[in-house]
Structure 1
Amino acid sequence: MLKKSVLLLSSLLISSSLSAHTLWVVPSHYVLSKPDSWIAVDASAANMTFVPDKGIGLNALKLYLPDGSVKPVTDVYQGKRKSMADVQLGGDGTYRIELANPLRFFTSYELNGERKRLMVNKQERTAQLPQGAANVETVQIRSRNFAYVTVNGPTNTVVKVRGEGLELSSETHPADAVAGEKLSFVFNLDGKPQAGVKGVLSYAGELYRNEAGRVDFETAADGSFSFTPQHAGRYLIEASYSADSATALADKVRESVTYTFEVALP
């Protein structure tokens, strides 16, 4: 029980740090032509896009293979400013690198004028709330940070929407994004297009620009968001969605994703 509580608290602390920092996962290569190649994956929680600030734990980092199977990434290192992993890819196809918090529940309440919390859902909270607890609220929380890497020919298995939480899809394969060509994304919540997802689009190099060049967006009624990248390079989409849910397990839902991708020269 103690180990589980420590893990939950660690996960909560990481999420709290993200309120001030954006967590991103960036592979050294997005497109490769040689099977069995190694890539390096950098991860950090930072205020500036792709400028590392805080190293994070990578114990939950996973590699999704082109056939959809999953394997953990074990060659990891956590530094002060950033963390790194060495990942060997196999044969041809598109891989997904993902660092995700598991679905979890956070219950807050007031007792004797103080705000307190429990890591339990609505069904579990009844037995654990102290007598006199007021203003009780349970929030369902989940976050994902991911990128795709393609070896030779692109495939679609790991790119498809899984129908769990906040996800994004695009008509353009991640390996085919080109500067000057429109990119259209659809944000989905539990497999359905979701309006009102708010996010920020940014791209590499803002440390060397007077204007960061960030774009705030909110998805339309069909869950869509589109833009035309003017520059080749690496981009970051960070997005979140929060709403009342009134389910058997939670009163509210909060979902977030960060997605890094590469835009090629025309």
Structure 2
Amino acid sequence: MQTNLIKHGVLALILAATAGAASAHRPWMVPTSTMVESKNAWVTIDGAVSEGLFDVDHMPLRMNGLSVTAPDGTTAPAPEAVMGKMRTSVDIPLPQDGTYRIALVSTNVMGSYKVGNEVKRFRGSEADFNKQVPAGATEVKKTITVQRIETFVSANKTSDGALKPTNAGLEMIPLSNPNDLRSGETLRVRFLLDGKPLPKLDFSMVPGGVRYRGVLGEVRHTTDANGEATIKLPAPNMYWVNAVYPPAPAKGAPPSDAPETRRSAYTGSLEILPE
């Protein structure tokens, strides 16, 4: 369990520090289909961490704690996922017609403290960090990262009951349905931090198929004063959407001396279809 927490914590902190970097390994989840048309609808979600979106080329995404928000707005744990060497997969039933939000939300800590003259370091959960730090420890520092990774799937029709904000961490709220996106049209989104609009937030959209292009193909957008952005939808593809707050420090900037730093990261996948 501790090993899993450490690996997941490292991933979250690497993501927060390197979002947008051309050489970063990126976590993602993608469905086998974003629109399932069936009386007995199911979808398979694959998750991995890779350099080439959405290639299975590095390591599986740990999907413990995956949740499913149904079209009626209720949220429940997803079925147990199966983790392989390179990817994790889970089959999810879609009993209600409409749009589902499938999300993996985690809170992780990287920290350090001194016991006497010895520096101790930690990566894992916030609860374990608080238990581990002994009374009398000095120079206690921690970085708390809240990370949301999500995707959207619709069964037989689209709806908006699953798209309401949770008001926890960094969220992207689609203001039009995320499973009805067509190239050349526009999508308006709102970014929230703990339920409040986040103005002047930079975020990225990167199309899949990086290995075939040889270039990342990242497109940057910035939210307005209301935390919203209007995106003219590019060529058809599955897209990786990413934002972090606050922005990573500039290269060469001195490290923060604050005893506690909080960071939030958002990753989503959206499919854009032909006109």
1:191/1:212 Cα in 2 relative to 1: closer, same or farther (>3 Å)? same
Determine the C-alpha separation between the residues in 2 that align with 1:146 and 1:255.
14
Kept after mapping to 2: 8 A contact 1:204/1:235: yes
TM-score, normalised to structure 2's length? 0.80
TM-score, normalised to structure 1's length? 0.82
Segment drifting more, 40-49 vs 227-236: 227-236
C-alpha root-mean-square deviation of aligned residues, in Å?
2.8
Kept after mapping to 1: 8 A contact 2:169/2:264: yes
Amino acid at match of 1:137: K
Amino acid at match of 2:174: S
Give the equivalent residue in structure 1 for 2:167.
163
2:37 is matched with which residue: 33, 38, 60?
33
Determine the C-alpha separation between the residues in 1 that align with 2:39 and 2:151.
18
Residue 9 (str. 1) matches residue 18 (str. 2):
no
> 3-state DSSP class of the match of 2:159?
coil
Determine the C-alpha separation between the residues in 1 that align with 2:225 and 2:114.
37
> 3-state DSSP class of the match of 2:33?
coil
Query: Structure 1, residues 197-220: CA drift from partner, whole Å, max 9, x if none?
Result: 343210122221143311234434
> 3-state DSSP class of the match of 1:39?
strand
Give the equivalent residue in structure 2 for 1:90.
95
Give the equivalent residue in structure 2 for 1:252.
261
Amino acid at match of 1:26: V
The number of residue pairs the alignment matches comes to 254
Kept after mapping to 2: 8 A contact 1:107/1:121: no
Structure 2: which 5+ residue stretches go unaligned? Answer: 19-23, 248-258
Percent identity, please: 25
Kept after mapping to 2: 8 A contact 1:186/1:193: yes
Kept after mapping to 1: 8 A contact 2:237/2:272: yes
1:114/1:159 Cα in 2 relative to 1: closer, same or farther (>3 Å)? same
> 3-state DSSP class of the match of 1:84?
strand
1:209/1:14 Cα in 2 relative to 1: closer, same or farther (>3 Å)? closer
Residue 57 (str. 1) matches residue 62 (str. 2):
yes
Amino acid at match of 2:199: A
Give the equivalent residue in structure 2 for 1:213.
217
Give the equivalent residue in structure 2 for 1:247.
none
Matches within 5 A, 1:184-203: 184-203=188-207
1:156/1:13 Cα in 2 relative to 1: closer, same or farther (>3 Å)? same
Kept after mapping to 1: 8 A contact 2:5/2:123: no
Structure 1: which 5+ residue stretches go unaligned? Answer: 244-249
1:239 is matched with which residue: 243, 248, 254?
243
Amino acid at match of 1:11: H
Kept after mapping to 1: 8 A contact 2:6/2:123: no
1:120/1:182 Cα in 2 relative to 1: closer, same or farther (>3 Å)? closer
